[in-house]
Structure 1
Amino acid sequence: MKKISALFLLLGLIISAQNNRVIYEYKFAPDSTKIDSLKTEWMYLDINKNGSKYYSKSSFESDSIVNESIKKQMAAGMKSISVSRQSNGGEINYEVEKTYPDYKTFLVSSIGNDSYKVAEDRKPDWKILQEKKKIGEFQVQKATTNFAGRNWTAWFTIEVPIQDGPYKFSGLPGLIVQIEDQTGTHKMELKGLKKIPETKTEELNTQGKDIPFTRKKPLEVNRSQYVKQLKQYQNDPVQGMREILNRPNSKVMINVNGKEISDPKDILRELEKNAKEEMQSNNNTIELIP
């Protein structure tokens, strides 16, 4: 009887509330050569009557700290703005937005120093199977799809009347409780549900200053335009920073292992080295076909 009461309480929470948060545990292997070394990121799927937003808890908190620091420096009239990102700021820097009831899907992602809002022109084509089981408190049913170059197996529940899920996944007759790709290197599993107050996203006002390493208002593009920018970045990952450093009176300083670097050539060399190392060690992206 306790389980039944808990279930009705949960359904009441989801149906009556305008804003809900679904908490997923995302386990993934960034490097395809080290598939046994899974990393974990806690992801939020925030839902309101107009749509949903999927993002990293750690990255959101890191961005909030950076923005508060910048606002304080600008309020104090400082001419030079210092930006510091902590190593525990999260590895998932993209966000996924969906609109209801049409479930239009957008990827919000940064390439170098630029941010893009990418309209997704593909939708998961689900095959719903008869297999059922229980995951946690939920009765779930199996479904499969191929999306962006990966084969996925999902388990969804009709006990929660939300036809949504983590990342770009939606379109099943219920909430996705668990989804995993065929290689086992990307897996998202529901770990919590709760009601949240209505929140408004506050845009950082940089007063016209182009501050590196901060999120910019995203430029809306289609998928082919985004892929083109992505390839350009892979070929020249410091193009954006080079443009910033070439501007008159532009001064940038970075800290590498406790050493401050201000010479533009040294900055570009260090950033290019880091970017290429990161691309090499993050070769197992969630989309094999972006």
Structure 2
Amino acid sequence: MGTPLGDFVRAKRDSIRPESLGLAAQPRGRAPGLRRIDLAGRAGISVEYLTRIEQGRDRNPSPAVVNALADGLSLDPGERAHLRRLAKLTTAHCPGSARPAPPSREVRPTVLATLRLLAPAPAYVTNRLGDVLAHTPGLAALLGPSGLLDAPAPNVTRYVFTDPRARTVFPDWERLADELAFDAGLGPSASASAWFASALAEEAGPEFTRRARRHLPPPRHPLHLVHPDEGPLRWHRERLELPAPDEQFLLVLLPADEATERAAGRLGRGRPPLRALG
């Protein structure tokens, strides 16, 4: 069974053209990507040890080894941070790990005050697992008909992967699913991600698990959404990270075209109170 770290290292290695690192190009007919022996040499570790990491047989590499792999793969700063997160997540998968406490659903009063200032724009407080912790009336007007907000503790990721309506609401379902599966692997903590992924895998099956194993950042695109009254809409998503202890962020939807801007004006006319979901 693979691990988040091993899956990422293998996928990243397969995506690298050897000549981009000053190595000889692979002969025609060979599998693409960087060979294990080349990555092991660049990282200063044995091929056998690299194989164990990629296959999930070594789940607790030292920080020095993780940094060496980052050097060997020529990762940029964002990818290096992602690799370190995956190393922590892989350790959390070790047998005997206790089930962690769920991430806090409490939203600070100042964050709720900020959310009020964003109304009537569709906006909400969330975390990387996809929990909807508080939202503006504009979000309720936009997503209320979809049923996404009906659950006592709404979660965008669970809705997208388990609710049949999601594929109608989000025409670019495949792209959105890629993004949400990737984000779920990043927190709020390694242990929380591991348990969330394990629970969701039972409900969602291969559609989630095969994406969760990729660990490569997907491209981000405008959100396409179909509203029952307004039809197809396109939104830019602006994500505002909150301080580290919160492990939360504000996500604001901004119209990506004139038709969506007009629809946003109509949807924002009725403005019930802000809703926090504790």
Q: Same fold, TM exceeding 0.5?
A: no
Q: Give the TM-score normalised by the residue count of structure 1.
A: 0.25
Between Structure 1 and Structure 2, which shows a larger proportion of strand residues? 1
Between Structure 1 and Structure 2, which shows a larger proportion of helix residues? 2
